[in-house]
Structures are given as C-alpha cells and as structure tokens.
C-alpha cells in the first residue's frame, strides 16, 4: 500500500496528483490544490497519518471511481461498494482534521456523495468502510454505556434489543420514550418488523434537554450507543433512525443539532417541535460543554430525512407554539419543520398554514425537499396523537411506515 504523489507548482498553489494503491486493486487518482507553505514531506506525512492502518488492511474496498463539481459548485465523488458493508465519508480542509459527514449502505454498485457546501478554496475527501467485530446483535441482548455525571458515578445506561429474522444487515430504529416512560416504548413499534429495534432507558425515566430533573449526558449516551451498534455485522450503519415521542422528540431535536451526520440518517419526532432554547434569532443553539446553557451557535449536519407529526389539540407541546410543559417555550410546529428543511438544504419559502395538502381525513401534509423533510398536522390530535395513534385507527402507523418505506 502507498501513495504516488506528483506535484506541479504555480505562484500561488501546488497541484498535487495522488494515487492510492495496494497489491490487489488498481490505483485511483485525483487532483488537489494545496497552499505553497505545505511541503511535499508534510503532505505525505499527513496523508499517511490520515489512513487508519487496520482499516487499510481489513476494510472492504472503496475505490474512488469518479469525482467532479456539479452545476451548484458542490464537489462530488463516486466510489465502489460491497453489499452488506457500510461506508463513512470524511471531509477535511487541511488533511490534518477530518470530519465525519455521512454513512452509506453498501449496495454492490457505485455510490455517490455530493457535499452540501459549495466549494471554497481546498477540500479533501476520503471514504472508509466501517469495521465490525464479526458478531451479530441478538434479541434479548442489553447494550450498556457506563457514565459519570453530577448525579451518578459509573452508572450503567442500558438499552433493550429486538432483532428481526434474517441475516441482515438490518436498519436500526432507536425509540426514545417520553418523560415518565421507559425502554419498553420500543415495543410500540413492533410493526416495523424489518428493523432492529433499540429501547434506551432514560435516567429518572426522562431525557435531559434543559428543564428535566435528569442532568444525565444523554447526547453522549446515544452517540456511544450508536457507535456500539455499528460494531455488529447485522447492523446497517447507513440506515439508523432516531424516533422520539414528546420528551424523546425533544432529545431527537438536540441530537439533530449536536451529532455529526455520519451517526444517523433519519429522524422521526412525534409531538416535538423545537423549543426556543434550541432555535432563536434565526440560528440553532447548543452548549459545547454538554450542559444546558444553549449559549453557542450550532451548525447541524445537513442531508438528513426528518418527519414531524403534531396534533392541533396538544396542550403539552402546543401546535401553535408558546408556553408548554416544564416552562418550555416552543416554536410553532410549522416554523420548526421549516427551519429544519432549510438546514437540510431547502432554499424556498415556508409553506403557509393554508397550503397544507389534505392526504387523509383530518391529516394535512407540509412537505419540503421532495418529502425528505415533512410535517403532518393531525387536526384534533392530542399529546398522545389520539385518535390517530390507536391500533384500531392505524393512521399514525401508516404515516411512519410510508416515511420509512417499510412494508
């Protein structure tokens, strides 16, 4: 394995053509522009240090087959994949610091990543396969993450596991219960029987967003839980979905804001538009120290698919926004989903309340980005989204399955 580097120099930059090769695969070449202050020796050291040796030795091959810049000045690359493997795309501006951008499910054919940001100056990309332990996750297992914070020391945070039949790899649904609930909440989604269903347990039966009794580091808990899941052969790391109800939906908003784009790809929020700490003055907010100050502007990862379902008679998380449970002030549900659509790449106007599309009795749809970001308003629905959520009714179940493309 090695790098073949050819460089030509201009007054302002170096043009570097790099070929990655190993014993069993043909080389792949691409061109990069770098600043003249970056020496050839430094460039080679950076390239070598940026490759994880265990990945290079054991990873499924991901050869970059093509690259370019689209009409919107966004760089893209096409790479080969192996069915059953998962691939993570990283981006760097300097070859020293790499950001996790997106995870793909291997299909056996070429996959294309398009960077959401227009090209400015220099940008580098790499693709790595996600390494697994050659073990399968099994139903009845309990996943554990030990955490210490102001309320507990070395406390075991747990999550239940239900795995569908078949070899996989299977998509994963992580179901986050509401305040007062527990990990059995995941059982409510047994109809999603093509998916591994994970039921995390919130500390004090709640999730720490800002005003709850729990001060647990829940963002870290869910991040570490996802990283654990990605170790298993039968987990499709390119199809991890977060679903939350009420307080669980509030945590989903926080995870959308704070977790990188490679960790999960889709989010479902039931009665959970953003609160005014998470979004105000036209920008998203978080606490970089992991606490609840929400004092620093955040830039959530783009490109995710998001479903929000709200009820017009909800008095806990009011559809129209304003004062709600535990002293939270909420955004209007329509404003919340519009801001998420903008962050995911939509550049048009907000769909007005009057222009919702009636898709079923008392159900109005507000769709952006061809349905990748979508809200359903359930007229008459309460905080439990009744009557739409009852087994006999089944309309909420249909909305979720349709969004996920589940049979």
Q: What is the DSSP string of 360-373?
A: ETTEEEEEEGGGTE
Residue 346: burial class (beta carbons within 10 Å; 0-12, 13-18, 19+): middle
Q: Alpha-carbon distance 296 to 282, whole Å?
A: 13
Mean pLDDT, rounded, for 50-67? 56
Mean pLDDT, rounded, for 59-64? 63
The pLDDT score that the predictor gives to residue 282 is 97
Picking from 223, 216, 221, the residue whose alpha carbon sits closest to that of residue 291 is 216
Statement: residue 50 has pLDDT above 50: no
* Cβ neighbour number for residue 250 with a 10 Å cutoff: 33
Q: Give whole-number Cα distances, 156 to 57, 200, 203, 209, 379, in Å.
A: 34, 11, 10, 20, 41
pLDDT, tens only, 145-187:
999 999 999 999 999 999 999 999 999 999 999 999 999 999 9
Give the torsion sign (CA, 383, 385, 387, 391).
negative
Q: What is the DSSP string of 97-165?
A: S-EEEEEEE--SS-EEEE-SSPP-S--EEEEEEPP--S----TT-EEEEEEEETTEEEEEEEEEEE--S
The pLDDT score that the predictor gives to residue 381 is 97
Give the torsion sign (CA, 350, 353, 357, 363).
positive
Q: Alpha-carbon distance 344 to 351, whole Å?
A: 16
Confidence grade of residue 191 (pLDDT, cut at 50, 70, 90) = very high
Contact 127, 85 (CB under 8 A): no
The pLDDT score that the predictor gives to residue 212 is 97
Statement: residue 311 has pLDDT above 90: yes
Contact 98, 90 (CB under 8 A): yes
Return the CA Rg of the chain. 22
Q: Rounded to the nearest 5°, which phi and psi values hold at 396?
A: -65, -45
Picking from 367, 316, 323, the residue whose alpha carbon sits closest to that of residue 341 is 367
pLDDT, tens only, 115-142:
999 888 778 888 888 988 879 999 999 9
144 or 127, which is more confident?
A: 144
The pLDDT score that the predictor gives to residue 133 is 83
Picking from 385, 363, 360, 383, the residue whose alpha carbon sits closest to that of residue 375 is 363
Statement: residue 44 has pLDDT above 50: no
Statement: residue 1 has pLDDT above 70: no
The CATH number of the structural domain formed by 142-404 is 3.40.50.1820
Picking from 208, 351, 401, the residue whose alpha carbon sits closest to that of residue 291 is 208
Confidence grade of residue 46 (pLDDT, cut at 50, 70, 90) = very low
The pLDDT score that the predictor gives to residue 96 is 81
pLDDT, tens only, 247-299:
999 999 999 999 999 999 999 999 999 999 999 999 999 999 999 999 999 99
Indicate the pTM of the whole model.
0.87
Mean pLDDT, rounded, for 308-317? 98
Statement: residue 354 has pLDDT above 90: yes
Give the torsion sign (CA, 47, 50, 54, 57).
negative
| Residue ranges covered by each domain of the chain | 2-129, 142-404
The pLDDT score that the predictor gives to residue 60 is 52
The pLDDT score that the predictor gives to residue 127 is 86
The pLDDT score that the predictor gives to residue 92 is 84
The pLDDT score that the predictor gives to residue 61 is 52
Helices and strands (H, E) in the chain, number of each type:
6, 24
């Amino acid at each position: 394995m090695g790098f073949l580097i050819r460089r030509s120099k201009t007054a302002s930059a170096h043009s570097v053509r790099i070929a990655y090769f190993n014993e069993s695969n043909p080389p792949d070449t691409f061109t990069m522009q770098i600043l003249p202050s970056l020496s050839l020796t430094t460039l080679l050291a950076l390239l070598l240090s940026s490759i994880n040796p265990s990945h290079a030795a054991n990873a499924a091959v991901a050869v970059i087959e093509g690259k370019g810049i689209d009409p919107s000045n966004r760089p893209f690359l096409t790479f080969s994949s192996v069915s059953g493997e998962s691939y993570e795309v990283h981006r760097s501006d300097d070859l020293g610091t790499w950001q996790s951008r997106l995870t793909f499910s291997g299909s056996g054919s070429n996959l294309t990543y398009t960077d959401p940001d227009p090209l400015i100056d220099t940008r580098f990309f790499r693709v790595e396969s996600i390494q697994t332990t050659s073990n399968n996750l099994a139903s009845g297992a309990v996943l554990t993450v030990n955490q210490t914070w102001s309320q507990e020391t070395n406390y075991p945070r747990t999550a239940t596991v239900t795995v569908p039949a078949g070899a996989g790899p299977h998509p994963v649904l992580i179901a986050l219960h509401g305040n007062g609930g527990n990990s059995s909440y995941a059982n409510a989604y047994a109809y999603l029987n093509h998916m591994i269903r994970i039921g995390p347990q919130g500390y004090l039966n709640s999730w720490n967003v800002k005003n709850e009794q729990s001060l647990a580091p829940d963002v870290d808990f869910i991040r570490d839980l996802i990283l654990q899941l990605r170790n298993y052969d039968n987990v499709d790391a390119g199809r991890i979905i977060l679903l939350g109800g009420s307080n669980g939906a509030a945590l989903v908003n926080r995870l959308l804001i704070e977790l990188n784009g490679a960790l999960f790809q889709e989010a479902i929020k039931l009665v959970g538009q953003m609160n005014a700490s998470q979004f105000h003055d036209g920008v998203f907010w978080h606490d970089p120290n992991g606490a609840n100050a929400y004092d620093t502007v955040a830039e959530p990862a783009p490109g995710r698919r998001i479903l929000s379902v709200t009820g017009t008679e909800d008095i806990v998380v009011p559809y129209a926004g304003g004062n709600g449970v535990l002293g939270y002030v909420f955004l209007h549900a329509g404003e919340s989903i519009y801001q998420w659509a903008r962050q995911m790449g939509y550049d048009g106007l907000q769909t007005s309340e009057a222009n919702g599309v009636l898709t079923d009795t008392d159900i109005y749809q507000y769709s952006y980005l061809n349905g990748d970001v979508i809200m359903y308003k359930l007229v008459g629905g309460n905080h439990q989204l009744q009557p739409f959520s009852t087994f006999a009714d089944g309309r909420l179940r249909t909305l979720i399955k349709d969004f996920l493309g589940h049979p």
